[in-house]
Amino acid sequence: MSDPRVTGAVRYAQDVELPDMLEARIVRSPYPHAGIARVDASALPDGVVVLLPDDVRGLGVYGPQIQDATVLALDVARYAGDPVAAVAARTAREAEQAASLIEIDYEELPAVFDPVEAAGDDAPRVHEIAEVSENEAAYFDLRPQPGTNVCHRFRVRQGDPEAAFEECDVVVEETYRTAGAQHVHMEPHASAARWDGDRLEVWTGTQTPYNLRSDLARIFLMDPERIRIVCPPMGGAFGAKTFVRLEGIAAALARKAGRPVKCVLERAEEWQTLNRHPSVIRVRLGAKADGTLVAARFRCWADTGAYADCGPGVAQKMGFAAAGPYRIPHVWVDADCVYTNLPPNGAFRGYGQMQSTWARELALDLLADRLGIDPVELRLKNVLHDGDRYCTGEEMHDCHYEACLRAAARAVDWDDARRGKGVALLLKGMQTPSRAEIAVEAEDDGTYTVRCATAEMGQGAWRTISLLAAEELGVDVGQIRYAVPDTDIGPYDTRTTSSRSTYVMARALREAVRDLRANGRRGHGMIEIPGGLDPDTGQGVASHHWHQGAAAAEVRVDEETGKVEVVRLHAAIYAGRVVNRPGAELQNEGSMIMGLGTALYEEIDVADGQVTNANLSDYEIPAFADMPERLTHDLIEREGADIHGLGETALPPVPAAIGNALASLRLHVTELPLAPEAVLCAVDVREGVRA
């Protein structure tokens, strides 16, 4: 029985045990916005270690893109759940009991929970200043708007849509909303920290070891080379295990305690740690009578919660991908990343592109309906081909959007009947710019050790990279050993996000093997992916290569209850070249199922700034019995093509395909999730019994 996943032998970050280790629990603000007047731990018993604001006041401010975070909230708590203190003890239970003895005085402040409202001039300010970070995760020019809660504003300015709308035969306008969502990775966040003199070692479930190291160095005012990050495999992540999460608290406690400290979150805390950006997106689309798209205007508000995290990047991607894989000569986008007094939002599979795909693809079907043109035909008429320019000004190449769309439509027998069916087409960017490095070492016994910082979270990257190495070296994959990522030993990589890892590592591997062949024992390869956008105009190179896919859905609606049943769901994803076929299939299937959850069940319910459904009974993710009758997918390959990452691609188009399937029944719902109650409202509207 070789696979540790079926024998239970996998050791995740939560399983790390270090000699003399203490376990930590975090004390969190119960208020969404409050001054912290007094934190008193005098009642705590001896033998527990407590971390108070004054213990971390002198530490550095951090944040991947905006420097707005401190290890503990200092003087102001900005969301219900903001860490205010922490306790380490022999067991988590003891730490919990000690933590309950900490007395904290709060003074409630006005709070804001909606991004459109928060972007306004009169909204309560979440942060007084938004200072741009100086680390490599701030890979684009940030545009915080002083005096407001807008911590980044991204714009696309291509042509003149306002004038062009005048020339259009049909213009549609609609506002779309998507709810917040939780990643619900099965393994909770877990980090362990240990000091060895002035060196810090951290074992943590993270997708971003080097970004994490960089911010920890900033926090502890250290040289990053004196910080070691080790990355055990994760029990799922989907974007949640990125940048600094628990590591700052664990490390600060470990330093104070003089002993290693591990912190593992309780499930309810996950909704207070990192979620997906809720969005409000206003779309205006204009076309000629023959279906030629002429102009598009997008206004996006991404609710980033109380700390920016990588929200600016999410808003930027939401914005630059909003126009979709279509030729539209006039495109303006305004995408604001806005602070609110809610838990922070950050990377979530799809990275802003689920939200803009939802809005755009539904608006396209509205347009198709108004034009009297079939939605597939409308898309085919405008879809990007090689040589076309995107709204960022970049020339598109390697375009397979048409193939994806045709495959998806065919999978649901689009030509036979249209009722109850919907399609959606996706254009998604890959982290640009970035840098990836990999080392390959020849061992004495004929095996090879591969070292890179790509983290394993179930996406099969370790296996795929091993297969690629075996291919390059011309050996059996059994000769390859993938070393657990360790920043002390392995080389740099930007991070394991954005479905980039197999693509960049494949290219870096070619260099590394060439280098190994030249010098015998150790080869090193690096690839730098150039590009980037001007944030004020959106012009430049948004993505080195694009992730492409389409989804089609067939639904049945119980029009007396509004319950939607997805009968058939298909995703056609451009893969280029598939290296790890079972892994690629699993990623497609998993993305589609997660998309189903986004479409039908998942929303973070908030009342007065409190998450009210922070458990897996009140927050529902798809289960076995929720599966569509038929769930299928294509991995589209082309001879001689490059690997295309597909860890996320099949997620964003799924909700939009389902929304468009409802639209084909004249049921117009503009918000995600598609709760039966909202669908029933749409039935009423269609039947004329409700406005």
Partner 1 sequence: MSPEPEWLQPRSLAEALDLKAERGEEATVVAGGTFVGILMNQGLLAPTALLSLARVPRLDGIEANGDLRLGALVTHRAVELSLVVRERWPALARSFSVVASPRVRNQATVGGVLADADYASDPPAMLTALGAVAVVRSSRGERSIPIDELIVGHYETTLAFDELIVEVRVPGGGHRAAYRKFRSRSHEDRPCVAVAVCRRGDDLRVVVGAVADRPQLFPELCDPHATPGEIGLAYADAIEPLSDIRGSAEYRRRVIAVEVRRALEEIAG
Partner 2 sequence: MRLTLDVNGTRREIEARTDEMLMDVLRRELGLLSVRETCGIGVCGACTVLVDGAPISGCLMLAAAAEGREVVTVEGLGGDDPVQRAFVEAHAFQCGYCTPGMILAAKGLLAEIQSPSEAEIRESLSGNLCRCGCYVKIADAVRRAAP
Which spans of this chain sit near partner 1 (rule: CB under 8 A)?
93-94, 97, 560-561, 563, 600-601, 603, 605, 612-613, 615, 617-618, 620-623, 625-626, 675-677, 680
Spatial contact of 235 and 206, defined as CB atoms under 8 Å apart: no
Residue range at the interface with partner 2 (CB under 8 A); choices 31-39, 322-330, 389-397, 585-593: 585-593
Strands (E), 350-413: none
Shortest spacing between CB 598 and partner 1, in angstroms: 12
Give helix 375-382 / helix 401-411 axis angle, nearest 10°: 170
Burial of 341 (0-12, 13-18, 19+ CB in 10 A): buried
**Binding of partner 2 by 109 (CB under 8 A):** no
Find residue 571's DSSP bridge partners: 551, 633
Among partner 1, partner 2, none, partner that 3 touches (CB below 5 to 8 angstroms by kind): partner 2
Report, in Å, the least distance between residue 621 CB and partner 1.
7
Is there binding between residue 89 and partner 2 (CB under 8 A)? no
Token pair in block for residue 354: 């689920």
CB 216 within 8 A of CB 244: yes
In Å, how far from its chain's centre is CA 461?
Answer: 17
Using CB under 8 A as the binding rule, whether residue 239 contacts partner 2 is answered as: no
Smallest gap from residue 23 Cβ to partner 2 (A): 12
> What count of residues does the chain have?
691
Whichever of 99 and 465 has its CB closer to partner 1, that residue is: 99
In the complex, what is the shortest distance from the CB of residue 490 to partner 1, in angstroms, rounded to a whole number?
Answer: 39
3-state helix, strand, coil in the chain (%, to 5): 30, 30, 45
Candidates 183-191, 215-223, 467-475, 634-642: pick the segment binding partner 2 (CB under 8 A): 183-191
CA distance 56 to 400: 51
Which one of 154-162, 454-462, 472-480, 556-564 is the stretch in contact with partner 2 (CB under 8 A)?
A: 454-462
Distance in angstroms (rounded) separating the CA atoms of residues 121 and 507: 48
652 binds partner 2 (CB under 8 A): no
Residue 256 or 349: the one with the smaller Cβ distance to partner 2 is 349
- Closer to partner 1 by Cβ: residue 398 or 589: 589
Site residues for partner 2, 194-233, by CB under 8 A, read 233
- CB atoms closer than 10 angstroms to residue 290: 9
Question: Site for partner 2 (CB under 8 A): which residue of 59, 592, 646, 657?
Answer: 592
600 touches, from partner 1, partner 2, none (C-beta below 5 to 8 Å by class)? partner 1
Contacts for 144 with CB less than 8 Å, ≥ 6 apart: 66, 130, 131, 132, 150, 151, 152, 153
> Measured from the CB of residue 161, what is the shortest distance to partner 1 in angstroms?
38
Cα distances (angstroms) measured from residue 524 to each of 351, 439, 451, 530: 31, 4, 9, 20
Closest approach of partner 2 to the CB of residue 6, in Å:
4
Give the contact letters, 611-640, x = binds to partner 2 (CB under 8 A), - = no: ----xxx---xxxxxxx---x---------
Q: Which of 390, 364, 396 is nearest to 574 (CA)?
A: 396
- Taking the complex as a whole, the smallest distance from the CB of residue 505 to partner 1 amounts, in Å, to 36
Encoded one letter per residue, x for contact with partner 2 by CB under 8 A and - for no contact, window 15-54 reads x---------------------------------------
Which residue, 238 or 358, has its beta carbon nearer to partner 2?
238
Q: b/e map of 249-285 (b: 16 or more CB within 10 Å)?
A: bbbbbbbbbebbbbbbbeeebbbbbbbbbbbbbbbbb
Q: Which is nearer to partner 2, 374 or 589 (CB)?
A: 589
| Residue 340 near residue 306 (C-beta atoms within 8 A) | yes
Which positions lie near partner 2, rule CB under 8 A? 1-12, 15, 183-188, 233-236, 238, 266-267, 456-460, 582-583, 585-587, 589-594, 615-617, 621-627, 631
